[in-house]
A and B are shown apart, each in its own frame.
Chain A
Amino acid sequence: MTVEELAKNTSLTLLTEGLDLSAEITKPFCCDLLSIAMGKAPAGSCWVTVTVNNNTLAVATLTDVACIIFAEGSAVDQALIDKAKEEEIPLFKTELSEFDAALLAFKQ
């Protein structure tokens, strides 16, 4: 599944318009501790988390994840969205739980 296909889910809101969404998602990855995500986030994964800050983006960039889903209705400010566009990391937000959001990236 590509990020673009994932974006078709109506329960997800794409926050970063205009980015390339052609990346293939290898698997979903759920984690809120950045130190663990740093060591274990698989390259090309769809990272589902409720930890919303600039460091989340830094970890995502360094581990080469395909996209991030902020779950549980996490608030995401515009500065973070701008930074994500700069780093070319697609961001989604959703009201779903981490588990249910991860399931969306697990299909197919």
Chain B
Amino acid sequence: MADVLTFTYEVSDEDFTRAGEASSDVKKKLKKLGVSPDVIRRVSIALYEGEINMVIHANGGTITILISEESITMILDDKGPGIPDIEKAMTAGYSTAPDNVRNLGFGAGMGLPNMKKNTDSIDIETKIGVGTKVTMVINL
């Protein structure tokens, strides 16, 4: 089996303005690995949106990145409130973000749609009151 590189990040909810550090770090790593700029951009967008969602809605969580020769897999695991209606959450423009987050320029309801648009597959497992696990794959 081909080698798989694994990176893990803990996303804290302490400082919203610091959100994006995991995404930035992954971007730097992919650049070093010589991944194409288009793929790096798609990973960055999808991961950043996911990271922001974890901070806004789920008090943080864990991000695991798996890089193989065939694909980049991003697993975002949180112990947040869960998503009551995934179909609604996937609709562009639908948002439950609070006002303080909107004031920072988020909450346009584009997070999950951006994640879907930039990845080859997205799978969301969610349980109310338990948490959400988002798995996104970008093929290389």
Contacts and interface: CB of A to CB of B under 8 A. Distances in A.
Contacts of A38: 45, 48-49, 110, 114
B129 to A, nearest CB: 26
Contacts of B23: 58, 62
Given A34-B105, A35-B105, A53-B104, A63 B110 contact: no
Interface residues of A, number: 21
Contacts of A56: 105
B27 A35 contact: no
A55 B20 contact: yes
Interface in A52-108: 53-56, 58-59, 61-64, 87
Nearest to A31: B105
Interface string B20-49: 100110010000000001000100110011
Given A58-B19, A58-B20, A61-B24, A35 B44 contact: no
B80 interface: no
Contact of A34 (B24, B106, B118): B106
A43 B37 contact: yes
Interface string A32-55: 111111110001000000010111
A59 B111 CA distance: 13
Interface of A is mostly: helix
A62 B117 contact: no
Contacts of B118: 39
Nearest to B17: A54
A33 B108 contact: yes
A54 B18 contact: yes
Contact of B17 (A36, A43, A55, A63): A55
Interface string A7-40: 0000000000000000000000000111111110
B41 A33 contact: no
Nearest to A61: B24
A54 B55 CA distance: 14
A60 to B, nearest CB: 10
